[in-house]
Amino acid sequence: MRINKYLALHLSTSRRKADELILLNKIKINGKIAQLGEEVLTNDKVSYDSKIIKSSITFKYFKFYKPKGYVCSNKSQGNSKIIYDIIEDQSLKYNGRLDKNSEGLMLLSNDGDWLNDTIHPSKGLTKKYIVSVSEKIFLEKFNKEVYDNGEVLKIFDIRESNKLTYEVSLKTGKNREIRRIFDSNNIKINNLKRISIGTFKLGNLKIGELKEIYS
């Protein structure tokens, strides 16, 4: 959560007034003078005029390995399974969905500001995927940028990682972007797995596992 929102909630003030307090160097996070736009995480100590502000809000931040076959939604999707069948905690939101037939890393939190600041497409973070296909891709002929349904779709980088397996990097986050680019190149995707979002890695998470990032 951004510091001005945190102060607005805990000091019963406006975000504009909170920004003024920050500019006057009256606010500290963990003993250091706070800066405009700075994030407050779960165990951070925030003080106003050297007095600790006691928080009644507990923020939670998680990595989640979304399984293949689950829809990113908190509402029933007919006969389809949804990720909240696994997560259960409806207070956790996400930014950067994966389609039903894809798997891999998602970030979840009850801190909407953190989600937007961390993985919103406007931030230009690199997201990496492992893509398995049925036939070899000749990279020199592969079109990384295509025009589809009124949108420019672009793969930032693609490289072979194993036989019929490629590591694909995106800077954008348009709907089904990788699948649409591969379709345009007449290449069938057998499996698509996101392995990283910026500095956050899927690592050794097990399928369906939810792991706290900050604790």
Please count the residues of the chain: 215
Mean per-residue pLDDT over the chain, rounded: 91
Separation CA 85–CA 73 (nearest Å): 10
Above 70 in pLDDT, residue 61? yes
Same domain as 117, residue 207 = yes
Most distant CA atoms of the chain, gap in Å:
64
Band (pLDDT 50/70/90 cuts) for residue 142 is very high
pLDDT of residue 48: 93
Same domain as 44, residue 19 = yes
pLDDT of residue 215: 52
Same domain as 208, residue 114 = yes
Above 90 in pLDDT, residue 125? no
Domain that holds residue 69: 61-121+203-212
Tally of CA atoms within 13 A in the half-sphere of 209 that contains its CB: 9
Q: Show the tokens assigned to 101.
A: 């037939």
CATH of the domain at 31: 3.10.290.10
CATH of the domain at 158: 3.30.70.1560
Above 80 in pLDDT, residue 52? yes
pLDDT of residue 166: 98
Separation CA 166–CA 184 (nearest Å): 17
Give the tens place of pLDDT for each residue, 9-22. Answer: 888 788 899 999 99
pLDDT of residue 123: 75
Q: Give me the number of domains the chain comprises.
A: 3
Same domain as 136, residue 115 = no
Same domain as 45, residue 73 = no
Same domain as 34, residue 66 = no
Q: What percent of the chain has pLDDT over 90?
A: 66
Same domain as 86, residue 183 = no
Do the Cβ atoms of 105 and 115 come closer than 8 Å?
Answer: no
Same domain as 207, residue 105 = yes
Same domain as 41, residue 21 = yes
Above 90 in pLDDT, residue 62? yes
Instruction: State pTM to two decimals.
Output: 0.77
- As a whole number, mean pLDDT of residues 132-150 equals 94
Above 90 in pLDDT, residue 197? yes
Band (pLDDT 50/70/90 cuts) for residue 129 is very high
Same domain as 66, residue 48 = no
Most confident of the ranges 55-59, 77-81, 132-136 = 132-136
Above 90 in pLDDT, residue 90? no
Catalytically annotated residues: 99
